[in-house]
Structure 1
């Protein structure tokens, strides 16, 4: 996956962020969002205990004691707060996060996601995935359309362990934006020069084209 594709997805998600919202960023593509939001007034939260996370600092300003949940150096915006992970998870579990932007291994056609384990492979831990799935008011998935091996990530039914029964609200890939309404998936926008037929070939999940569809 090229960095250009990752940035394209992060920039599109940044356009969807609402001014004034508290937004948690998961690991992977979501960590690129602080460098894409520009002057938009959102409060970025990291589960290791930051509210008011800013863009990636310049090399000479990097402090490795100030990192995100992805262990990457970050800066702090004016008025930012730093606290322990217990307080951070209280925010998440208490429903105080307006939006979580998460990566995913798979998303099924109802909006259920798997993003914490691959059967037969060692993992470092669940992290905050399940807490965020249940606690955030809304969830956007930021992911490439296919795995590194070329397998679809948007599927009929999950084959990896679920992160929870709570459904996501949107998926953004390099090719398309999908929205879920009452556990039904709708194609809202095509983000590349892919055809409808090509998109369907790499998207086994059932979906409908929204009446408000936007072509690229």
Structure 2
């Protein structure tokens, strides 16, 4: 079975961002979403390290060492965009000023709990960053992640087993197999993104799916 590439996953999520939205782009796979937005939609991207009006990744001749995203990758700045102090950036995140946050995930539970900062390994350094602030501060949280871990185990579960980032914060999950919504009934399939039978998609998921 052919799964979507990470770039295809990002492109699919980008289609669901409403024009005029204020959107935080997280580190890792979510950074790819910025490359698939239509400028005519006037979506304003926020980066945790202090950017509003962030554009797509910078090409070789556009690189400015002082203009990087939260993942330390060179990006562009849209006309009218700004960069500012980390404290002001977190005030935006915590103050409810972001309509949407797009983050990666290690696990999501059927009730919308999110684990995305630690694999719980002894001696592993903490790496939560601003994820907890974003998870509770944004009006909606979309997770962009592979449906299964490298060992094939499900990342969508009845209950998360890894250290949590936030409780009941996730609205939607975009994977390499499907778009899934978190509802009071649990995981609801919004759209299959590849040719996969319902039974196979259910087997790849660690909690019951509502089809």
Asked if 1 retains the 8 angstrom alpha-carbon contact of 2:55 and 2:78, the reply is yes
2: CA distance, partners of 1:119 / 1:58: 37
1: CA distance, partners of 2:149 / 2:65: 31
Match of residue 83 from structure 1: 84
Runs of 4+ in 1 over 6 A off after TM superposition: none
1: CA distance, partners of 2:140 / 2:35: 22
Match of residue 156 from structure 2: 154
- What's the offset of the Cα at 1:205? 1.1
Give the root-mean-square deviation of aligned CA atoms. 1.7
User: Could you state the TM-score of these two structures normalised by the residue count of structure 1?
Assistant: 0.92
> Structure 1 170/69 Cα, relative in aligned 2: closer, same or farther at 3 Å?
same
Asked if 1 retains the 8 angstrom alpha-carbon contact of 2:202 and 2:209, the reply is no
Moved more, 22-31 or 119-128: 119-128
Listed as ranges, the matches of 1:9-24 within 5 Å are: 9-24=9-24
Listed as ranges, the matches of 1:58-207 within 5 Å are: 58-120=59-121, 122-182=124-184, 184-207=186-209
- What's the offset of the Cα at 1:64? 2.2
SS of structure 2 residue aligned to 1:34:
helix
2: CA distance, partners of 1:116 / 1:69: 15
Q: Deviations over 1:46-80 (max 9, x none)?
A: 00000000011210221122100011110000100
Moved more, 49-58 or 112-121: 112-121
2: CA distance, partners of 1:141 / 1:8: 15
Question: How many correspondences in the alignment?
Answer: 208
Q: Deviations over 1:101-146 (max 9, x none)?
A: 0100000111111001111151352101100111000000011111
2: CA distance, partners of 1:95 / 1:139: 12
1: CA distance, partners of 2:144 / 2:160: 17
2: CA distance, partners of 1:182 / 1:33: 28
Q: Deviations over 1:158-214 (max 9, x none)?
A: 1101112132110011110111223622111100011111111110112211xxxxx
Moved more, 5-14 or 113-122: 113-122
Asked if 2 retains the 8 angstrom alpha-carbon contact of 1:23 and 1:99, the reply is yes
Structure 2 segments unaligned to the other structure (5+ residues):
none
Match of residue 212 from structure 1: none
